[in-house]
Amino acid sequence: MTVVNSNHPALSTLSEQEQLFQEAVRDFATSEIAPKVSEMDEARQMDPAIVGQLFELGLMGIEIPEEFGGTGADFFTSVLVVEELSKVDPSVGVIVDVQNTLVINALLRWGSDDIKKRYFPRLAADTVGAYCLSEAGSGSDAFALSCRARQDGDDWVIAGQKMWITNGKEAGIFLVFATVDPEQGYKGITAFIVEKDADGFTVGKKEDKLGIRASSTCELVFDGVRVPAENVLGEVGKGYKVAIETLNEGRIGIGAQMLGLAQGALDHTVRYVQEREQFGRSIGSFQGVQFQLAEMATEIEAARLLVYNAARLKDAGLPFLKEAAMAKLFASESAQRVASRCIDLFGGYGFTREYPVEKLYRDAKIGTIYEGTSNMQKQTIAKMLLK
């Protein structure tokens, strides 16, 4: 595994500026998001006020240059933000993650000057973005797309459907992948920027999910949606390259989400075992409980090192494909193990919705599925090892 040569004494050690930023996000999550977590989960609805505050704090345009109204920070900062938000609510973590590590990253890398001028100020100020690749018949086989785009004069016309699109309800800008020539296979895939008010575009069914319920996951329908040629992202027929390279970065963000989730579950559990008494003493005083806490803390720190290392490699311009896959694989599977064990330590209380670990346990399941299943991460890692 490649390890970035950082100036920090340890990969998990943050600079003073990073620590201050992390603390500010943590304070916001604790004071503003935490009181609304249960309500948003039950309602399956992200509080619009929370989304507005994310924009006000600059958390929805972290890598957007300051000239366009963004924060002008690096990718690693996005990872820190997603981690901190996900300690409190992974649903909030993922809306920020998709905005920054997928949509904005794609526009940074592939967008023309015109696209950046038109869309970065909106994405930084008040407009949520969505990344639209998956279809009913296109999951791990990401480029088996049936969504079509045909050229009509200077425009492109898109017809088809997308499924399981995160931020579908809140988004105003959609990065859509469609095939312009099915006979070309993946070489026919092209990326388009579609606006929510485009004629023929509708947001369909919102999924009723096991976890991250406040995060919207929707079907999108394109019924002859006309897109101007200037809204092609990258080159025609190069959409597969846009998708692959963006997802490689996005997986680090999901690793950060799952890392934050696991840390949040452990934090709740450490407090609980010190308060809960059995046999005349706190259950945290029993060695059997202490050993479980130690194992979870060690696993979380290992996940943190993998996620941070992948993010720093990306910022340093070094290869990070294998490291990103490792980070997502380990962090997502660790989150499930940690959240499950935390419920065990809460006992009967952990099985109720009165305590927060139950929700985090439900939220953890998606980590091994979206933005590349665990099996796909293992395949990537193995290919890189055998290359």
The Cα 193–Cα 316 span in angstroms is 28
Average of per-residue pLDDT across 128-146 = 90
Question: Is 207 in the same domain as 260?
Answer: no
What DSSP letter does each residue of 194-258 carry, written as one string? EETT-TTEEEEEEP--SS-TTS-EEEEEEEEEEEEGGGEES-TT-HHHHHHHHHHHHHHHHHHHH
pTM of the entire predicted model: 0.95
Q: What is the CATH number of the domain that holds 285?
A: 1.20.140.10
* pLDDT band, residue 9 (cuts 50/70/90): very low
Confirm whether 1 is domain-assigned. no
Q: How many domains does the chain have?
A: 3
Residue with tokens 């009723």: 208
Question: Is 337 in the same domain as 263?
Answer: yes
- 288-331 per-position pLDDT tens digit: 999 999 999 999 999 999 999 999 999 999 999 999 999 999 99
Catalytic center residues: 371
Q: What is the CATH number of the domain that holds 230?
A: 2.40.110.10
Average of per-residue pLDDT across 59-88 = 97
Long-range CB contacts for residues 169-172, cutoff 8 Å, separation at least 24: 169/46, 169/203, 169/206, 169/216, 169/218, 170/46, 170/51, 170/95, 170/128, 170/216, 171/127, 171/128, 171/129, 171/130, 171/196, 172/122, 172/127, 172/128, 172/129, 172/196
Identify the DSSP state of 281: E
| Domain ranges, residue 101 | 16-128
- 204-240 per-position pLDDT tens digit: 999 999 999 999 999 999 999 999 999 999 999 999 9
Question: Is 375 in the same domain as 246?
Answer: yes
pLDDT at 3 over 70: no
Residue with tokens 């929370």: 50
Task: Collect all residues with Cβ–Cβ distance below 8 Å to 12 and sequence separation of at least 6.
Answer: 301, 304, 305, 308
Confirm whether 254 is domain-assigned. yes
